[in-house]
Structure 1
């Protein structure tokens, strides 16, 4: 096991449901310095686990473990932290309770403060649903978080993104003829259709038109569909995916007692210096939504990743996109927070 477990105990979720013996899986890179002020929190995205974040961590990179103490907490529902697949009855599989982004960040805050005694975070960074957690950190703990850098992630699930996630859910519901009492019968084979639905949103039209998948070693569009989209989703547990889809569809940094749904107020309350990096051709989390958000954050810069890789400009696959993200993170980390 290449990660650690932080026991949360019995937790009451935003929904009011108590999840017994909850836990957060996490991995750390580098060492916490004496002042405990070299901390970077890097939450995972939908369907990802900590290993999928490691492309952005390394010697000489912005997230350099020789300089920073990097904590990668796994999203609840991803199969490593408390999830439908690893929770005993009565909260197993389709009975897993609804978990919000706010719940996730609240538990991550407990990990950071209770386990490590950390009071200041230099940066919270994340891709996609990891990005929304970065925003939530900034809104929930404005005096603790010095910088945030969401890339290809939004501060709430805007209606079009909600619809895309709903289409992914519908693919699974169709497998049980929309009978929620039969959800426990879902298998990984039912995830193939979810991958096919997502394929139209993960990268841009230009990516497909220019057949960029050939550069990845795929000989045809069908080969790419099967080898990337279907294969990656079929490795996921369908109940974990349903849980994360609910989390994703209901994500909103203002949906909590601090802001009571006032989205603009939540954005305006973020004190962190922010570098917002949407993919310029992202169909899933469009750059326009990020532009709106960036204008309301007092210390934000809006830096689109000019790329035909769509949402996957933030996935760590295309070297030019990776360089752009890393360069901007270096710039952000070099900035004095008093500027």
Structure 2
């Protein structure tokens, strides 16, 4: 096991449900300094685990473990932290309670403060649903978070994103004839269709038109769709996926007692310097919506990743996009702290 477990005890979620013996899986890179001020928090995205964040961590990069103490907490529902697949009855599989982004960030805050005694975070960064969490960190703990850098992720789930996630959910529901009482019959084979649904959204029209999948070793469109999308989704547990889809569909940094649904106020409260990096051709985490969010934040810079890799401009696959993200993180980390 290349990660650690932080036991949270019995946790009462935003829904009011108490999840017994909850836990966060996390991995750290680098060493916490004496001042405990060299901290970067880098949450995982939908379906990802900590090792899928490692492309952005390394010597000479912005997230350099020789300089920073980098904490990668795993999203609840991802199979490593408390999830439908690893929680005993009565909260196993389809019975797992609804978990929000706010819940995730609140529990990550416990990890950072209780386990490590950290009071200042130099940067919270993340891709996709990791980006959503970085916005939430900035809004929930403005005095603690000195910079944020969400890429290919919004401060809330805008309607288009919701509909895309709903299409993925529908592919699973169709496997049980839309009968929620049969959800526990789902298996990983039922994830094949979910991968097909996502294939049209994960990357851009231009990527497909220019057959860029040939650059990563696929000689046909069908080979790429089955080899990448089907295979990656069929490795996921369907109940974990349903749990993460619910988390994603209901993301909103203002849906909590601090902001009572006032989205604009929540954005205005993020005083930390922020680099907002959407994919210019992202089809469901739209650059325009990130631009709106950035305009409301006092110290945000809107920096689209000019790429035809769509949402996957932030996935660590295309070297030009990787360099753009890393260069911007270096710039952000060189800026003075907020406040």
Q: What TM-score bracket applies, with the shorter chain setting the length? A: over 0.9
Deviations 1:242-281 (A, max 9, x none): 0000000000000000000000000000111100000000
C-alpha separation in 2, matches of 1:200 and 1:69: 37
**Aligned twin of 2:329:** 329
**Aligned twin of 1:155:** 155
Whether 1:301 and 2:270 are equivalent positions in the alignment is no
C-alpha separation in 1, matches of 2:98 and 2:28: 27
SS at match of 1:6: strand
C-alpha separation in 2, matches of 1:81 and 1:188: 19
**Aligned twin of 1:28:** 28
**Aligned twin of 2:280:** 280
Report the CA distance shift for 1:338/1:178 in structure 2 as closer, same or farther (over 3 A).
closer
**Aligned twin of 1:316:** 316
SS at match of 1:312: helix
SS at match of 2:21: strand
C-alpha separation in 2, matches of 1:304 and 1:333: 18
Whether 1:77 and 2:77 are equivalent positions in the alignment is yes
Per the TM alignment, residue 337 of structure 1 is displaced from its structure 2 partner at its CA by: 1.6
Deviations 1:51-81 (A, max 9, x none): 0000000000000000000000000000000
**Aligned twin of 1:258:** 258
C-alpha separation in 2, matches of 1:86 and 1:336: 42
**Aligned twin of 2:216:** 216
Per the TM alignment, residue 331 of structure 1 is displaced from its structure 2 partner at its CA by: 0.3
C-alpha separation in 1, matches of 2:335 and 2:253: 25
Report the CA distance shift for 1:269/1:338 in structure 2 as closer, same or farther (over 3 A).
closer
**Aligned twin of 1:107:** 107
C-alpha separation in 1, matches of 2:187 and 2:152: 30
C-alpha separation in 1, matches of 2:96 and 2:74: 17
**Aligned twin of 2:19:** 19
C-alpha separation in 1, matches of 2:39 and 2:338: 18
Deviations 1:283-312 (A, max 9, x none): 010100000000001000000000000000
C-alpha separation in 1, matches of 2:223 and 2:214: 10
**Aligned twin of 1:140:** 140
- Given that residues 147 and 274 in structure 2 are in contact (C-alpha distance below 8 angstroms), is that contact kept between their aligned partners in structure 1? yes
Deviations 1:65-121 (A, max 9, x none): 000000000000000000000000000000000000000000000000000000000
**Under a length normalisation based on structure 1, what TM-score does the superposition of the two structures give?**
1.00
Whether 1:128 and 2:128 are equivalent positions in the alignment is yes
- Given that residues 277 and 305 in structure 2 are in contact (C-alpha distance below 8 angstroms), is that contact kept between their aligned partners in structure 1? yes
Deviations 1:123-156 (A, max 9, x none): 0000000000000000000000000000000000
Per the TM alignment, residue 338 of structure 1 is displaced from its structure 2 partner at its CA by: 5.1
C-alpha separation in 1, matches of 2:230 and 2:216: 16
Deviations 1:148-177 (A, max 9, x none): 000000000000100000000000000000
Report the CA distance shift for 1:338/1:262 in structure 2 as closer, same or farther (over 3 A).
closer
Number of aligned residues: 339
C-alpha separation in 1, matches of 2:74 and 2:52: 11
**Moved >3 Å (runs of 4+):** none
- Given that residues 273 and 338 in structure 2 are in contact (C-alpha distance below 8 angstroms), is that contact kept between their aligned partners in structure 1? no
Where structure 1 has 5 or more consecutive residues not aligned to the other structure, the ranges are none
**Aligned twin of 1:187:** 187
- Given that residues 272 and 338 in structure 2 are in contact (C-alpha distance below 8 angstroms), is that contact kept between their aligned partners in structure 1? no
- RMSD, matched Cα: 0.6
C-alpha separation in 1, matches of 2:214 and 2:243: 33
C-alpha separation in 2, matches of 1:21 and 1:290: 36
**Under a length normalisation based on structure 2, what TM-score does the superposition of the two structures give?**
1.00
C-alpha separation in 1, matches of 2:217 and 2:11: 46
